[in-house]
Amino acid sequence: METRVDEIADKIYRLCTLIPGANGAPGFTFNQFLIDADEPLLFHTGMRSLFASVSAAAGKVIDLKRLRWITYSHAEADECGSLNDWLAAAPQATAAQGRFGCAIWLNDQALRPPRALADNEVLDLGGKRVRHLSTPHVPHAVDASLLYEETTGTLFSSDLFTQLGDSPALTDKDIIEPAIAAEKAYGFTSLTPKTGPTIRRLAALAPRTIAVMHGASIAGAGTVPTLEALAGYYEDQLRQAMAG
């Protein structure tokens, strides 16, 4: 198993492991993101089975003992399955999640007491600043939240824009069509009246980079239209479901 390391924005690193699908299926990339700052932060831990490879890759960027924060979108194996392996390897690290996420999962599961974050609360990492965005059911799960790094304008979008198969770290190609194809294949996004408005809230941040958990990340002028197109897709889906 190989975990590739690419810098996708200033001192923001994508740790990427391709898991092939069974019987020739395209599989997925599983990406974690490491923000190197005075207080380094990891967004998504990956599954326990990936810990050896992903932690070795992270160790090429920082001394793991410096890792200060570990956070994730929602309670699932690829988001936080290896959380306690990371907490054991990084004695100064604290897990952080929204208040609801702490209440329903993290308070019980983390080796050490976590830090509960409010919507829009900012953690000053020293050189980087991350804003916690509470986004229930976007992409899915009631504890869902996303992260926005303000100095680089990097939005960490978790499962939004999931693309099948291998991918480059960054692309300037359209990711909407592949993302809709993956959505049609797996139906992983919770469709509620708040799906579209929540994604439009992300677009209003005007991110310069979108760091995608499964697939290529994107940077540049296409980020806002891409978010608006995704919001429009889900709004259409909801209208069709209501009409049907």
Interface residue list for Fe ion (CB under 5 A):
76, 78, 159, 213
State which residue, 125 or 212, has the beta carbon closest to Fe ion.
212
State which residue, 149 or 159, has the beta carbon closest to Fe ion.
159
State which residue, 128 or 214, has the beta carbon closest to Fe ion.
214
Name residue 154's beta-bridge partners: 149, 209
Residue environment code for 79-115, b if the CB has 16+ CB neighbours within 10 A, otherwise e? bbbbbbbbbebbeebbbbbbbbbbebbbeeebeeebb
Residue 55 and residue 121 in contact, taking contact as beta carbons nearer than 8 Å? no
- Hey, which bits of 118-191 come out as E strands? 122-124, 129-134, 145-149, 154-156, 170-171
State which residue, 37 or 158, has the beta carbon closest to Fe ion.
158
As measured in angstroms, the least distance from the Cβ of 159 to Fe ion is 4
As measured in angstroms, the least distance from the Cβ of 140 to Fe ion is 6
> How long is the chain?
244
Selection from 223, 165, 217, 218 nearest residue 15 by Cα: 217
As measured in angstroms, the least distance from the Cβ of 131 to Fe ion is 20
As measured in angstroms, the least distance from the Cβ of 234 to Fe ion is 16
